[in-house]
Amino acid sequence: MTIQEIYDLALKLGMKADPRGEVGVKRYLARMKKEYEALPKDDKEYFEKTKLVDPYADSFIHFVANAKIPVKRVLAGIDIDSGEIFLADRLNERGKKIDLVIGHHPIGRALVDLAEVMDLQVEVLESYGVPTHVAENLMQERMSQVDRGIHVGNQYQVVDIARLLGISVINTHTLTDNLVEEYLNGLVKARKPHTVGDVLKILDEQPEYQQAKREGTGPKLLFGRPSNRAGKVMTEMTGGTNPGDRMYEELSKAGVSTIISMHLNEKSLELAKKSFMNVIIAGHMSSDSLGMNLFLDELEQKGIEIVPCSGLMRASRTKKGKK
C-alpha cells in the first residue's frame, strides 16, 4: 500500500463509522462544496480542497517523502512530536526502515482546523435528545473557544522537522475516534448494561483498558456508584474534543444518565455532578489506542508491520480473532 492508499483506507473506515451516518456525511460535504463555490476567486486559492471529499479536517497527510514506494513498516503513536520524528530517523539509521509515521492527535494543518470537525457533535447530541437549537448554539460557542486557543501555537513545528529529515507523516484523529465510538457504542447497545458497574465491566474487557489499569490509568468512575442504574448511556469518544461545560446539563435534561468520556475537565465534572449524572472516564490514551488499533489491524492484515510508540497501547484483535 502507498501512503495515499493507507490514508484513503482510514478515511473509508472513519466515514463508515461516522455517527452522522452516510446521509449526514454527504450533507456536510455538500455544505463544504457550497461554501467553497461561494468564495471570491482570490480566496479560493487558500481553501484546503481536500475538505471537499474528506469531512475530517483534523486528519491529514502532512508530508510524503516518496508517494510511490510501498509501505512495509509504520511507526504509530498517539502524540507525534519532534522526538518521534527523530526516533523514526534513528531507527532508519539502525536499519529498521520506517516508511511512514502515523500519529493520532492533530499536528500542522490538522491542528489548525481542529475546531471544524466538532460540527459533527451537533448531530450526535441530537441523537441523544438534545434539541437542535441548543446543541448548535452551544457547539458554535465551544468551537470558537477551541479555535481561538489553537491559533496561538506553533502548529507546523513537527511537520517542518519531518520535511527536513525526509520522514513521511500523517495523522488520523476523528477518523479513528469514530471507530472507537462505534465499537464501544455497539457493545453498550448489544449488552444493555443495567448498572454502572455493568458498564465498567464492558470497558474492563478491552485489552487497551486492561493495559491502562496495569499502568495505573484505567477506567474510573468519577461520580456515581457501581450499583446505580445505568439508564441511557452516552459514549463520548469523537468530534474533536469535549462538547463544553454547559452541554452536560442539557444531556441530563435529554435523559442521559451515564456518560463514558475519554477525559473531562473539572468544570465539566462539577456540572455533570450537579445534574446527578454517572460519570465514567474511560481513559484518554487507552481510548485513542482502541480506535487506532481497529485501523492498524487493517494495515496488519495487509502485511504492514506496526511499531508502536508514544502512548499507543497496541492490541491486535486480528491476531486474537476478536475482530
Contact 158, 169 (CB under 8 A): yes
Task: Let me know if residue 97 belongs to a domain.
Answer: yes
Q: What gap in Å lies between CA 143 and CA 127, rounded to an integer?
A: 19
One domain for residues 166 and 187: no
Contact 58, 113 (CB under 8 A): yes
Q: State the CATH number of the domain containing residue 297.
A: 3.40.1390.30
**Plot region of 165 (φ>0 → left; ψ -120 to 50 → alpha; else → beta):** alpha
Q: What is the pLDDT of residue 320?
A: 57
Q: Which residues contact 44 (CB under 8 A, 6 or more apart)?
A: 36
Q: What gap in Å lies between CA 311 and CA 287, rounded to an integer?
A: 11
Task: Let me know if residue 315 belongs to a domain.
Answer: no
What radius of gyration do the chain's Cα atoms show? 20
Task: Let me know if residue 78 belongs to a domain.
Answer: yes
One domain for residues 152 and 7: yes
The residue segments making up the domain with residue 296 are 3-173+287-309
Task: Let me know if residue 36 belongs to a domain.
Answer: yes
Taking the chain (323 residues) in runs of 10, the rounded mean pLDDT of each run is 98 97 95 96 95 97 96 98 98 98 98 93 92 91 88 93 98 98 97 98 98 97 97 92 82 95 88 92 97 98 98 89 47
One domain for residues 154 and 225: no
Q: What is the pLDDT of residue 152?
A: 84
Q: What is the pLDDT of residue 322?
A: 47
| Helices within 82-156 (DSSP H only) | 82-93, 108-112, 120-127, 132-150
Q: What is the pLDDT of residue 272?
A: 87
One domain for residues 93 and 186: no
One domain for residues 111 and 137: yes
Task: Let me know if residue 16 belongs to a domain.
Answer: yes
Task: Let me know if residue 320 belongs to a domain.
Answer: no
